[in-house]
Amino acid sequence: MAKVLIVYGTTEGQTAKIAEHLADAGRRLGHTVDVRHAPDVAADTDPARYDGVLVGASVHEGRYQRAVREFIERHSQALAARPSGFFSVSLAAASRDPAEREAIERIAANFEEGAGWAPQRTASFAGALKYTQYSWLKRALMKYISGKEGGDTDTSRDFEYTDWDAVTRFAEDFFGGLSAA
């Protein structure tokens, strides 16, 4: 069975939750999975010691977390030498507007290209609106953006749009590919 590393960037926690869901799915398939938050990746966490690597990040103002990009750049050789996958988390992934979804695909493709990485598998997952955790400024901004899109604007609660079945399918595809290799 394979040993897999999952490294993620998160600002409000949803990508961490998705990373743990991917890890659980991999473990259920019999694999060993380590999950690390990108800013905390220790010097002794070497992707070259793993059979596969998944990297995830969330979009804020059109960008992914810098620590994720730094991890990819630092370990570009190890990533190129083994199966790898990228999962992107955003609100636009849940948009009814195809142009919004395409914009996120472009942001993801530019990110991979800019970091000099060509993952075998990529996925775009819808994230969450965590109104109750935001500062008043962030809450007002996200309410405005969501309202403009015809989305949820009740700031007294949080909204989760992640399709957990899609996350499981991505995990099964990635881990299944490792088993076959």
Q: How far is the CB of 53 from ligand FMN (least distance, A)?
A: 18
For ligand FMN, give the closer residue by CB, 82 or 143.
143
Nearest to 84 by CA among 72, 98, 66, 69: 72
User: Cα(37)–Cα(110) distance, rounded to whole angstroms?
Assistant: 22
Tell me which residues touch ligand FMN (CB under 6 A). 10-15, 58-62, 89-92, 104, 127-129, 138, 141-142
**Beta carbons within 10 angstroms of residue 167's beta carbon:** 21
Residue 24 token pair: 């659980």
For ligand FMN, give the closer residue by CB, 104 or 178.
104
Q: How far is the CB of 171 from ligand FMN (least distance, A)?
A: 17
For ligand FMN, give the closer residue by CB, 83 or 127.
127
3-class SS at 62?
A: coil
Q: How far is the CB of 179 from ligand FMN (least distance, A)?
A: 28
Burial 55-91 (b: 16+ CB within 10 A, else e): bbbbbeeeebbebbbebbeebeebbeebbbbbbbbbb
Q: How far is the CB of 81 from ligand FMN (least distance, A)?
A: 28
For ligand FMN, give the closer residue by CB, 142 or 178.
142
